[in-house]
Amino acid sequence: MSDNAAKGLRFPDLTVRVASALVLVSVALVDFWYGGIYVTLMVMLGTGLALWEYRRLIRVTLSRREPVLWMTVAAGALCILATGGWSLEAGLLILIPGAVLVFFADRDHAKWMVPGFIYITLAMAFLVDLRRDPVQGFPLVLWLVCIVIAADVGGYFAGRLIGGPKLWPRVSPNKTWAGTLGGLVLALAVGSAFYLSDQVTVPMIVLLSGVMAVASQLGDLAESALKRRFGRKDSSNLIPGHGGLLDRFDGLLGALWAYGLISLTGVLTVG
């Protein structure tokens, strides 16, 4: 077998993954650069699609005309709109009754829908709130996204080039300890680059980059566990080479939760 053929077997989906990722990153960078209503509208759309994918995962059959689906999507979108237009606190005032509405709208699936609704919507609200800072907003989002990408890319290549023992084969049979460590190392390197650039004034940014990388990988594992629980391969087929939004942004959701919770404790003071 030729070297090119061997590489093709080792990275069978690399070309499609890279092309899709470049398109997504380019659109997101332009949108988040402009900020304001552009970010709010795009994140509202992303939240709605992610909630649709989530409900699609836990339901055997799902009609797009289902009232519960549209109530869930509307509640998530309103939370994002309130966060972008006013504050994270305003978004929480929408999130709480939204979760209650989701609970009573579908009692049969409430034990899955309510946590999923809160997990996805609040993470997206953290993202919008992060960008609202007029000075540090865009650099912070750029840093966090770069850390998540580094953790994913480092894990992808280290896992396939080194291989070795599996991380958690029952949940994600393709992930290895080598991939996990490779993602962490690359994320720390990216965090060091941001520290040297002095563009993001986050305390202990290199250490925090490592924490975000671990949270990103936990978010990835959480979605893998969910898909395995319901016997699904992908959350949808919206993104070529990646599946759905949840398949692509599962790591970002985990990192956003980690950053958001740490920020709420008051430990982080961005200057």
Same domain, 143 and 255: yes
Within a 13 Å sphere around the CA of 32, how many CA atoms are in the beta-carbon half?
24
Please give the Cα distance from 181 to 159 (Å, whole number): 9
Same domain, 111 and 3: no
Find the range with the poorest average confidence among 55-69, 83-97, 214-228: 55-69
Quick check: 168 pLDDT over 90?
A: no
Cα of 7 vs its chain's centroid, Å: 28
Q: Are 53 and 245 in contact (CB under 8 A)?
A: yes
Mean pLDDT of 212-227: 95
Same domain, 141 and 269: yes
For 199-212, the pLDDT digits (tens) are 888 889 999 999 99
Containing domain of residue 20, as a range? Answer: 1-34+134-271
**How sure is the predictor about 7, in pLDDT bands with cuts at 50, 70 and 90?**
very low
Same domain, 88 and 145: no
Same domain, 250 and 266: yes
Q: In Å, what is the CA distance from 194 to each residue of 138, 141, 160, 182, 271?
A: 13, 12, 27, 19, 15
Same domain, 81 and 18: no
Same domain, 105 and 46: yes
Nearest to 53 by CA among 239, 188, 191: 239
Same domain, 150 and 234: yes
| pTM, 2 dp | 0.90
Residue whose token pair is 């982080």: 268
Give the rounded percent of residues in the chain with a pLDDT score beyond 90: 65
Please give the Cα distance from 22 to 71 (Å, whole number): 33
**Domain tally, the chain:** 2
Nearest to 179 by CA among 166, 190, 193: 166
Same domain, 121 and 155: no
Same domain, 195 and 156: yes
Same domain, 41 and 120: yes
